[in-house]
Structure 1
């Protein structure tokens, strides 16, 4: 299921403003890649280009190539809806649909894609997705209750279940633990470690310890100043990035001298 993503010469614009410049990197399959860097350096903007969420903003566009297993996601004739089905996303704050039950939340993406599914298959999919998100045992007896009735950490795992229910190949996570308490954060981190066996995972985080704990590779982004584009400074194995980065700016950020 998991796919490799190759990014080459990517420039990301909002209208005429160059927000992120000249990104080139590979995201390896069945691994966790963490994006770190100071606020405003383009981490989340770049993350959203990986499933074409960036272009839902009026005037937003990209130049360059984002290829998944050799297929350019921005190529002529490529359906952005199909891209987002294959590259799922989990946002910073848990966002279950408040009027839907827990089970309906899991099935929301499947039904949005107009997939006809029998009641039995729907029940099986709800169970498998919730098990995949390590939530089944906690909610199996209250599937008809609103998704919003769950705790914050449970809601975030529900959103992960919703994302994997459509069977994507890549999961993007934009600071998925920033609104959660330490215990819920640990549950999400443990889940990420399990999910990478089946998915390619990319996570944006401001938590250095989290990046060190959960990721196999780390990419450091930085920005030279207000009005300047964000840039990828360095990417490599997480252990190397945190112990022996090649760039002084990376070392300064990781050590807390700025950012």
Structure 2
């Protein structure tokens, strides 16, 4: 199910402003790739281009290619809705639909895609997705209760269950633990490690220790100065980035000298 992503000569714009310049990199299947770098360097902007969420912002556009197994996601004949179905996204703050039950939250994406599903299949999918998000045992007796009644960490895992229910090939996570306590953060990190067996995962994080713990590869982004576009400085195995990076800017950032 998981697939490789190849980014070629990608430039990202908000109107006339180039926010991210000249990104070339690959994301390996069935692995976790972490994006790190100081605030404002374009990590989250770049992440949103990987499932065409960037272009929902008025005036936003990209130049270049984002390919999944050789298919350019920005080709004229590619449906952006189909791309977002294939590449799921989990946001910084948990965002379950407050008026929906836990079960209906899991099924929301499936129903949004107009997939007809029998009651029995829906029940199976809810259980399968919640098990996949390590949440089933905690909520199986209250599936008809509002998702907003869960704790923050449980809500984030519910959002992950909702994302995997539509059976994507890639999961994008934009600082998924930034609003969570340490115990909930550990639960999400453990879940990420389990999910990479089935998915290609890309995570944006400001937490260096988290990047070191959960990712197989790490990409460091930086910007030369105010008003300058963000750039990919280097990408490598996480062990290399944190022990012997090629670029001095990477060394300075991970050692806490700036950012």
TM-score range, shorter chain: over 0.9
For 1:98, the equivalent position in structure 2 comes to: 98
Secondary structure, aligned partner of 1:198:
coil
Number of equivalences? 259
Runs of 4+ in structure 1 over 4 Å off: none
For 2:38, the equivalent position in structure 1 comes to: 38
**What whole-Å deviation, never above 9, does each CA across 1:205-252 have from its counterpart, x for those lacking one?**
000000000000000000111110000000000000000000000000
Secondary structure, aligned partner of 1:18:
strand
- 2:131 corresponds to 1:131: yes
For 1:4, the equivalent position in structure 2 comes to: 4
2 CA distance for matches of 1:77 and 1:97? 32
For 1:192, the equivalent position in structure 2 comes to: 192
- 2:155 corresponds to 1:149: no
For 2:234, the equivalent position in structure 1 comes to: 234
2 CA distance for matches of 1:254 and 1:210? 12
The residue correspondences of 1:1-259 to structure 2 (distance < 5 A) are 1-259=1-259
2 CA distance for matches of 1:93 and 1:76? 32
1 CA distance for matches of 2:29 and 2:76? 25
2 CA distance for matches of 1:18 and 1:116? 42
Secondary structure, aligned partner of 2:172:
strand
1 CA distance for matches of 2:63 and 2:39? 23
2 CA distance for matches of 1:177 and 1:225? 28
2 CA distance for matches of 1:166 and 1:60? 27
Secondary structure, aligned partner of 1:202:
strand
**What whole-Å deviation, never above 9, does each CA across 1:7-31 have from its counterpart, x for those lacking one?**
0000000000000000000000000
Q: How well do the aligned residues superpose, as a CA RMSD in angstroms?
A: 0.2
2 CA distance for matches of 1:144 and 1:225? 51
TM-score by length of 2: 1.00
1 CA distance for matches of 2:43 and 2:35? 6
> How much does 1:114 deviate?
0.2
> How much does 1:168 deviate?
0.0
> How much does 1:76 deviate?
1.5
TM-score by length of 1: 1.00
2 CA distance for matches of 1:126 and 1:3? 24
1 CA distance for matches of 2:40 and 2:80? 26
1 CA distance for matches of 2:200 and 2:59? 29
2 CA distance for matches of 1:69 and 1:59? 28
> Tell me, which stretches of 5 or more residues in structure 2 are unaligned?
none
Secondary structure, aligned partner of 2:220:
strand
